[in-house]
């Protein structure tokens, strides 16, 4: 569950999964472990070996949310984000982050964009998750703190596997792949673009567009319906996925899946919202839809996943909103 509203939203998702289990005759075994600030308070580290081992043993991981201002001034390896979530992603090799963003009928009115622009948007973001500037070394302060260094680097194989995933995803959808980079400036983006070109030969049915990240940021709000699958590196994907979430009118309703070749971690894209934690008013939809993604990607339970997604849509249609 992690921190803040993590517990509430995980409770909601577990209830939904238990209902699915009853209806479709499955049983799920849940185990709970600490991570993030909560773990730091109890054990002095944001991710314990015990939690890590449990995640490695699991068939799938439901992840609530982490973070809180009180832990942000700790050294990086003790912060909930870097020491907890980022380490877990790396240890489990969860290199592919899938963030589906779909305009929901009942929420169109709460989008800051015109209904006519946003209606029908259905975007699959495929974000690289274990490389790039988030993990690149050196990363440090020099010259008495007056020089700050981050490193953006990508190995060919890291790009190849995520691009491959994106093409595979596009084949199952409308077969339009937009690859987002900054190839007019960055070396890593040039390599990225080269690899997308190479891979596209294997997928002649997929239409590939290359787009610079600044232009993509604009087009996502101007003409969101023109996108199908979007693939990009870690930090561009982080920024663009929050931007895209505004289409739906709420960050609170968006799920994500982080996949390795063997295991998946499922988490809403929002944070731990400490300001509303414990009040019972957090929107659990992002977490519940993440559980649906888990059924689909980790357990091949397609009908069950769809049942959850459909139920969420029906509830919203009936006017149940936070």
69 is catalytic: no
242 is catalytic: yes
- Which member of 134, 135, 154, 297 is catalytic? 134
182 is catalytic: yes
For residues 87 to 126, the per-residue mask of contacts with ligand IPM, x marking binding by CB under 6 A and - elsewhere, is ----------------------------------------
238 is catalytic: yes
Q: Considering beta carbons, is residue 51 or 245 the nearer one to Mn ion?
A: 245
Say how many residues touch ligand IPM, by CB under 6 A.
Answer: 5
Instruction: State which H helix or E strand residue 156 sits in.
Output: helix 156-171
User: What's phi and psi for 222, nearest 5 deg?
Assistant: -75, -45
- Could you say whether residue 3 binds ligand IPM (CB under 6 A)? no
Residues that bind Mn ion (CB under 5 A): 238
Q: Considering beta carbons, is residue 78 or 117 the nearer one to ligand IPM?
A: 78
Instruction: Give the nearest distance from C-beta 271 to Mn ion in angstroms.
Output: 8
Handedness of CA 161, 164, 168, 174 (dihedral sign): positive
**What is the signed CA dihedral for 13, 271, 236, 131, rounded to 10 degrees?**
-80
Q: Quick check: 253 and 287 in contact, CB under 8 A?
A: no
176 by Cβ neighbours in 10 Å (0-12 / 13-18 / 19+) ranks as: middle
For residues 224 to 253, the per-residue mask of contacts with ligand IPM, x marking binding by CB under 6 A and - elsewhere, is --------------x---------------
Handedness of CA 211, 217, 222, 228 (dihedral sign): positive
Place of tokens 């984000």: 81
The two three-digit tokens of residue 85, written as one number: 């979530």
Of 10, 61, 85, 103, which one interacts with ligand IPM (CB under 6 A)?
85
- Of 133, 222, 141, 125, the closest CA to residue 180 belongs to 125
Instruction: Give the nearest distance from C-beta 86 to ligand IPM in angstroms.
Output: 6
Instruction: Give the nearest distance from C-beta 213 to Mn ion in angstroms.
Output: 15
- Which member of 3, 181, 228, 238 is catalytic? 238
Count of beta carbons in the 10 Å neighbourhood of residue 169: 19
275 is catalytic: no
Instruction: Give the nearest distance from C-beta 94 to ligand IPM in angstroms.
Output: 11
For residues 63 to 82, the per-residue mask of contacts with ligand IPM, x marking binding by CB under 6 A and - elsewhere, is ------------------x-
Q: Considering beta carbons, is residue 20 or 162 the nearer one to ligand IPM?
A: 162
- Could you say whether residue 34 binds ligand IPM (CB under 6 A)? no
Instruction: Give the nearest distance from C-beta 88 to ligand IPM in angstroms.
Output: 11
Q: Quick check: 229 and 96 in contact, CB under 8 A?
A: no
Beta-ladder partners of 181: 212
- Of 207, 213, 248, the closest CA to residue 229 belongs to 207
Q: Which residues are catalytic?
A: 134, 182, 214, 238, 242
Residues of this chain that interact with ligand IPM (CB under 6 A) are: 81, 85-86, 238, 269
């Amino acid at each position: 569950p992690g921190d803040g509203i993590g517990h509430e939203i995980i409770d909601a998702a577990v209830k939904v999964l238990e209902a699915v289990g009853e209806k479709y005759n499955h049983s799920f075994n849940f185990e709970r472990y600490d991570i993030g600030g909560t773990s730091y308070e109890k054990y002095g580290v944001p991710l314990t070996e015990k939690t890590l081992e449990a995640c490695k043993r699991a068939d799938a991981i439901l992840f609530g949310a982490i973070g809180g201002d009180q832990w942000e001034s700790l050294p990086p390896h003790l912060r909930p984000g870097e020491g907890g979530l980022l380490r877990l992603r790396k240890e489990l090799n969860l290199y592919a982050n899938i963030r589906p963003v779909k305009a929901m009928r009942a929420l169109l009115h709460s989008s800051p964009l015109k209904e006519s622009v946003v209606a029908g948007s259905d975007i699959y973001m495929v974000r690289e998750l274990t490389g790039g500037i988030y993990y690149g070394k050196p990363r440090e302060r020099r010259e008495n703190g007056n020089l700050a260094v981050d490193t953006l680097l990508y190995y060919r194989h890291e790009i190849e596997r995520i691009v491959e995933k994106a093409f595979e995803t596009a084949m199952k959808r409308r077969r339009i792949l937009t690859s987002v980079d900054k190839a007019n400036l960055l070396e890593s983006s040039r390599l990225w673009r080269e690899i997308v070109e190479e891979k596209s030969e294997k997928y002649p049915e997929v239409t590939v567009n290359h787009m610079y990240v600044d232009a993509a940021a604009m087009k996502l709000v101007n003409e969101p319906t023109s996108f199908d699958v979007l693939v990009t590196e870690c930090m561009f994907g982080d920024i663009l996925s929050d931007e895209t979430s505004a289409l739906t009118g709420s960050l609170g309703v968006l799920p994500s899946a982080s996949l390795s070749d063997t295991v998946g971690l499922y988490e809403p894209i929002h944070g731990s919202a400490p300001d509303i934690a414990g009040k019972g008013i957090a929107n659990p939809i992002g977490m519940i839809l993440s559980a649906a993604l888990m059924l689909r990607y980790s357990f091949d339970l397609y009908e069950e996943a769809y049942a959850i997604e459909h139920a969420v849509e029906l509830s919203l249609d009936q006017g149940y909103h936070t």
